[in-house]
Structure 1
């Protein structure tokens, strides 16, 4: 294929709360999406300075805006205040600084043919896209990674009916103004239709998220860097049950600690949590209070090292709290099956992640909140750890990803949907 010249390419503006090198899963996906679409579009990203952990490097504290070029993608970063994930007020200030900063930054990026935004931050991500559409007189593509306020209601983050009603009104407005809505799960199609009572549903498309299968893949258990990771964090010679990702409200992790508590006297198993998030302190406090010596908390890993940390797990958690079906798809699923790891799933029936696990038979799943069954699944894995059962799960998951969920397939779908908007 002959690559288009810069003059021939359409201009695409992406609003991304987080963008690489931030470790947020959406930031990583958007980096791969943007770079994958460079053959068709000249791309500019408006995002915050690297700050997903809440801290900001001194080099990003001197100006309001920072222009960078990362692998031919133009990046305009906005300075925001530091925040604590456990402090609602500081998080709100941080998010609002991005929102208003992004509105201002829109005037600094020139003409655009297409504007693309995601549903993060909740509600504001969609409104930014509408703003960009109006200011640039461009086609608008709204990518919903998580439905809000539905997600907010599911986990009880807010029970203020007026706020929830206004959130719904604003996000439906963003959907209506979008030339195309892209959703990331089959179950999310019904949520979108339900918002509009199956009448005058916005133009939409379904495209799976992904993990780059060329960067994350199975490694031998004795691989030098996998072993080094295990030794560094005290996982060697153990059966490792791993959770890798955001330690947030949407995964029912606090209640799962009561299940893990039942295995605290098992010296052959260790439960490893990799990541940061708003409930990490509560999880650490539970561990210390109940003497869970076989629970380890590990910091976020650099993207280049993710292949080693994922491969250090023998099985991985893939979780959502009750009420998340049709609202969100845990993106960690793609990394788990890319690494060829079996899954302990607590996911609602007919949710996208559960459908994939059941279709491929790459793990055992039950309903969120069914703690007795989750305990039984862990025991089953411990019983089967020396058998070929886990290897079969690994192969089926990886094969499914390679055949159906590759980065290139999804990126080509995005290109086609954006151009047809």
Structure 2
């Protein structure tokens, strides 16, 4: 028996994952990679190379003394790289931080043993793919490139840079990573189309689509009178309010500044149909948070509340506290990025206001399940109309049914187990 088990264990393939962030960091990609790694441990011995916990810019003292830190979490071996602290609002400090990870990860590759597969994610932009190519070459391994966001397409969509030389170089390098991959796994139907478009249908790298997910056993509907939800609402003065919630990265790719201008049309004291006062809560952090907070103060929008990231174990309660959730992208993000926050919204069974272009993965899911109301990014009149509809229908059964349909679809088609199994099967086919 022991011998058989030993042989079974020795048959497991070795998989190296390059993850910019990994738990306990709150980055959505870090959470997905944690669940992916832990979910594949029955088929692979897994090592993760990532940064020391630092998603919000600060580094704990215990991670400031060495260049590398070796850990093990839930059976996954982790090699952490020390990086400098940074401010999300300061481009230079962010670049220094990212480059420290990139070069640190290249060196760290020599500190892990033989690998059969190398798996990298499209974070940080361009460099994530290049790390995968590096790992493939250094370890003589098969390379799986997981594209969560396409760059430079994302940079172009939000006008982060208009420098044609920089954008051209970014495209060349990321196409180089795609060509060197043995498999591209991306997260939406519209993102698969982007791969085909990049290569104009010729010599297109092998690409499959696997949805992101949330652990539906970890995040699920909770009654509104749960003590933790009551405590959350009390802490942030949300008690007895009708809550529109945005939960996640408050960054460049969501057009949140213009969204705030639409929200301004619903002044303090606006009442929902069931008598509750309407409030708009933004939970998270990111590069445009300070701008939003300044606008809110200058325009005396006291019905807009900013709430810090919640600990992972408390996410279930903050998500459940909302009556309606935002799931938004800026214009031009179609085929470029797929908002993972949708899966958490569906998991807690809440209706959605979607701002997604037609043909995008998440808009398709929302419309197919009739789980909310959608509009095109930039169509602010429709945004205003949809906010108004939810206010006028607060307390109605249709809102509850919208949320229930989203949850039912998630449990049937978008579970962690389904997606993780697809990943393992696709990798083992190589």
Please give the range of the TM-score, normalised by the shorter of the 2 chains: over 0.9
Stretches of structure 1 lacking an aligned partner (at least 5 in a row): none
Aligned-residue offset at 1:5? 3.9
Aligned: 1:11 with 2:20? no
Alignment-derived partner of residue 226 in structure 1: 229
Q: TM-score, normalised by structure 2?
A: 0.97
Alignment-derived partner of residue 174 in structure 1: 177
Aligned: 1:367 with 2:376? yes
After superposition, the C-alpha distances for 1:342-395 in whole angstroms (9 at most, x for unaligned) are 001111001111000000000000000111110110110011112101011011
Alignment-derived partner of residue 322 in structure 1: 331
Aligned-residue offset at 1:174? 0.3
Aligned-residue offset at 1:223? 1.4
User: Which ranges of 4 or more aligned residues in structure 1 deviate by more than 6 Å?
Assistant: none
Structure-1 separation of matches of 2:58 and 2:295: 25
After superposition, the C-alpha distances for 1:289-337 in whole angstroms (9 at most, x for unaligned) are 0000011100100110000000000000000000000000000000000
Alignment-derived partner of residue 266 in structure 2: 263
In the TM superposition, what are the counterparts of 1:242-261 in structure 2 within 5 Å?
Answer: 242-261=245-264
Aligned: 1:90 with 2:93? yes
In the TM superposition, what are the counterparts of 1:56-67 in structure 2 within 5 Å?
Answer: 56-67=59-70
Q: Secondary structure at the match of 1:6?
A: helix
Counterpart of 2:411 (choices 380, 383, 402) is 402
Structure-1 separation of matches of 2:309 and 2:324: 18
Structure-1 separation of matches of 2:263 and 2:19: 36
Supply the RMSD in Å over aligned alpha carbons.
0.9
After superposition, the C-alpha distances for 1:75-97 in whole angstroms (9 at most, x for unaligned) are 00000000000000000000000
Aligned-residue offset at 1:264? 2.0
Alignment-derived partner of residue 380 in structure 1: 389
Counterpart of 1:190 (choices 188, 193, 200) is 193
Alignment-derived partner of residue 331 in structure 1: 340
Structure-2 separation of matches of 1:5 and 1:311: 42
Aligned: 1:217 with 2:214? no
Structure-1 separation of matches of 2:250 and 2:96: 21
Aligned: 1:302 with 2:311? yes
Counterpart of 1:281 (choices 269, 290, 293) is 290
Structure-1 separation of matches of 2:390 and 2:401: 13
Aligned-residue offset at 1:227? 1.0
Alignment-derived partner of residue 351 in structure 1: 360
Aligned-residue offset at 1:103? 0.1
Structure-1 separation of matches of 2:8 and 2:167: 46
Structure-2 separation of matches of 1:417 and 1:91: 34
Stretches of structure 2 lacking an aligned partner (at least 5 in a row): 271-276
Q: Secondary structure at the match of 1:115?
A: strand
In the TM superposition, what are the counterparts of 1:61-80 in structure 2 within 5 Å?
Answer: 61-80=64-83
Once the two structures are overlaid, the 10-residue window that deviates more, 219-228 or 123-132, is 219-228
Q: Secondary structure at the match of 1:23?
A: coil
In the TM superposition, what are the counterparts of 1:142-157 in structure 2 within 5 Å?
Answer: 142-157=145-160
Alignment-derived partner of residue 427 in structure 2: 418
Aligned length: 420
Counterpart of 1:159 (choices 147, 158, 162) is 162
Structure-2 separation of matches of 1:208 and 1:20: 21
Aligned: 1:22 with 2:31? no
Structure-2 separation of matches of 1:386 and 1:174: 50
